[in-house]
């Protein structure tokens, strides 16, 4: 079967690559690669009013950034193109003309106002709103009269009566819909552009799509697409509808939900690692065997099994994403971490764009200090803020430490050691702290905590001697002087 597997990711260029769409693309990609099949990208751009400039390019750019490649698309013809629906309008015409000729579709001349009135009347009678089918039996003369009024028709598919459309879903198992709950639906709009469900069914057949893996919000489209396949006596693909992604309140992930970063582009800009994001998204609604959660792309391809797609909603856990990205960060070469973090220090106006060798070494040391705890590149700005302040505002926790009785003696002794220290390097600073221990008799938290809080304003942080070296002798002396009174 492997060579027969053909799957597609079919974005609309109406926006940027969203986390939910990225998951759809990623699962299709993994399924195709695991099965030795073909993964194609088709651009569903028939909703011309909603398309945004650069939408298509953005989708493809950030799929590549994530590490997803494809076998066929607008930039890689595999013999099934064109891969933009807007360039396939003539292809669709052949098929809707055939449906009209066979009486399986008809022209509808109803205006939006008439359709709205019909819907309101049905709702007033507590009926499910659906098209009544009143244009289904118009004579040629009646059609001509309506056209003479200047009415432009849409084309509706004639939904078979009293029929059940059932299919075995890769995720949900057995699913069925009754045709009587679905009104005759529009397959070609008044402007001559086919609608989503019609174009998708035609494309999936002509592009030999074997499996359609998509989000749960598409499941109500499936019976309409099955009807199109049935009308042409075509074998439909196997469908799989992945469960929703939910936020920490267990509500569907919405583009308006500001508690979660929604777009892949934003993650790239914040200095997340594509490998980490790939790993995280692959576990949104799919689970491997065992407890391991960190996998390379190649490992995912090897172990991906569509039977392990979850039947429960996938929780978008921000803390887990931060943890996972941190796991990847810790394994990076320092130069790669610098490349991710430095632009954010520059953007924040903390570091110059052009650095001399001494400044470059200092920044590199600063970023190295935080590599172990950094979750993403932009976090360096907040983590390292103490290095860019002339004076520290001590919070309540810090003040409590500085109020301890041994602090004045420790601070005074440490100041003397710092003042005499040349060169001002981490090893020497370590020895200076030991000398303070000897002269004051203080040790452990009683020794280290006052020094840390005095010079950094924080009760915890990176390796203290390294941090002190990077802060520099003059800044450290100033901070200690202020506390000496």
Fill in the DSSP letter of residue 457. Answer: S
Overall pTM > 0.95: no
Q: Is residue 254 predicted with pLDDT exceeding 90?
A: no
Indicate which residue of 117, 255, 443, 484 is catalytic: 255
Percent of the chain with pLDDT over 70: 99
Preceding amide of 82 cis, omega within 30: yes
Strand partners, 194: 188
Average pLDDT on 48-70 reads: 91
d(CA 86, CA 50): 13
What DSSP assignment string belongs to 271-317? T--HHHHHHHHHTSSB--SSS-----HHHHHHH--GGGB-SSPEE--
d(CA 128, CA 378): 50
Question: Cβ(59)–Cβ(9) under 8 Å?
Answer: no
What pLDDT is attached to residue 2? 42
d(CA 443, CA 142): 98
Average pLDDT on 112-119 reads: 90
Provide the mean pLDDT of the chain.
93
d(CA 430, CA 424): 11
- Identify the weakest region by mean pLDDT among 106-120, 168-182, 253-267, 366-380: 253-267
d(CA 121, CA 128): 10
Reported as a single tens digit per residue, the pLDDT across 393-442 is 888 998 999 899 998 999 999 999 999 999 999 999 999 999 999 999 99
Q: Is residue 273 predicted with pLDDT exceeding 60?
A: yes
Q: What are the C-alpha distances in Å from 384 to residues 75, 238, 458?
A: 43, 52, 11
Whether 255 is catalytic is yes
Residue 136: HSE in the Cβ half-sphere, 13 Å Cα cutoff: 16
Q: Is 291 buried (19+), middle (13-18) or exposed (0-12) by CB count in 10 A?
A: exposed
Reported as a single tens digit per residue, the pLDDT across 463-482 is 999 999 999 999 999 999 88
Average pLDDT on 228-247 reads: 96
């Amino acid at each position: 079967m492997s060579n027969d597997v053909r799957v597609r990711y079919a974005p609309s260029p109406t926006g940027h690559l969203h986390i939910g769409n990225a998951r759809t693309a990623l699962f299709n990609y993994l399924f195709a690669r695991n099965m030795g099949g073909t993964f194609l990208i088709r651009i569903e751009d028939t909703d011309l009013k909603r398309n945004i400039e650069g939408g298509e390019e953005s989708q493809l750019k950030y799929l590549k950034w994530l590490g997803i490649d494809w076998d066929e698309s607008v930039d890689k013809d595999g013999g099934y193109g064109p891969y933009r629906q807007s360039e396939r309008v003539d292809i669709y015409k052949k098929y809707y003309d055939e449906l009209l000729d066979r009486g399986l579709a008809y022209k509808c001349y109803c205006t939006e106002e008439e359709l709205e009135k019909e819907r309101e009347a049905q709702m007033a009678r507590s009926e499910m709103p659906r098209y009544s089918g009143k244009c289904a039996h118009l004579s040629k003369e009646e059609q001509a009269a309506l056209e003479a009024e200047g009415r432009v028709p849409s084309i509706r598919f004639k939904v078979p009566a009293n029929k059940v459309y059932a299919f075995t879903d890769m995720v949900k198992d057995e699913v069925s819909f009754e045709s009587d709950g679905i009104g005759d639906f529009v397959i070609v709009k008044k402007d001559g552009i086919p609608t989503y469900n019609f174009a998708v069914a035609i494309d999936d057949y002509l592009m030999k799509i074997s499996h359609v893996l998509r989000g749960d919000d598409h499941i109500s489209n499936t019976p309409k697409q099955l009807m199109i396949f049935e009308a042409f006596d075509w074998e439909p693909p196997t469908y799989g509808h992945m469960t929703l992604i939910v936020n920490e309140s267990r509500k569907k992930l919405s583009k308006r939900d500001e508690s979660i970063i929604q777009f892949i582009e934003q993650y790239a800009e914040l200095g997340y690692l594509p490998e980490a994001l790939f790993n995280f998204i692959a576990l949104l609604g799919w689970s491997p065997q065992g407890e391991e959660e960190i996998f390379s792309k190649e490992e995912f391809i090897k172990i991906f099994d569509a039977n392990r797609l979850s039947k429960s909603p996938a929780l978008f856990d921000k803390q887990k994403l931060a943890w996972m990205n941190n796991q990847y960060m810790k394994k990076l070469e320092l130069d790669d971490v610098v490349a991710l973090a430095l632009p954010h220090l520059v953007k924040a106006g903390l570091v110059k764009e052009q650095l001399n060798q001494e400044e470059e070494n200092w920044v590199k040391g600063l970023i190295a200090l935080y590599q172990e705890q950094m979750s993403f590149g932009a976090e360096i700005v907040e983590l390292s803020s103490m290095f860019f302040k002339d004076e520290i505002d001590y919070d309540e926790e810090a003040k409590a430490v500085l109020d301890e009785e041994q602090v004045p003696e420790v601070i005074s002794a440490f100041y003397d050691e710092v003042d005499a220290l040349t060169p001002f390097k981490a090893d020497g600073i370590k020895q200076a702290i030991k000398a303070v221990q000897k002269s004051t008799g203080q040790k452990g938290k009683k020794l280290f905590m006052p020094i840390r809080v005095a010079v950094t304003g924080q009760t915890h942080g990176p390796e203290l001697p390294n941090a002190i070296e990077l802060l520099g002798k003059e800044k450290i002396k100033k901070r200690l002087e202020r506390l000496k009174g």
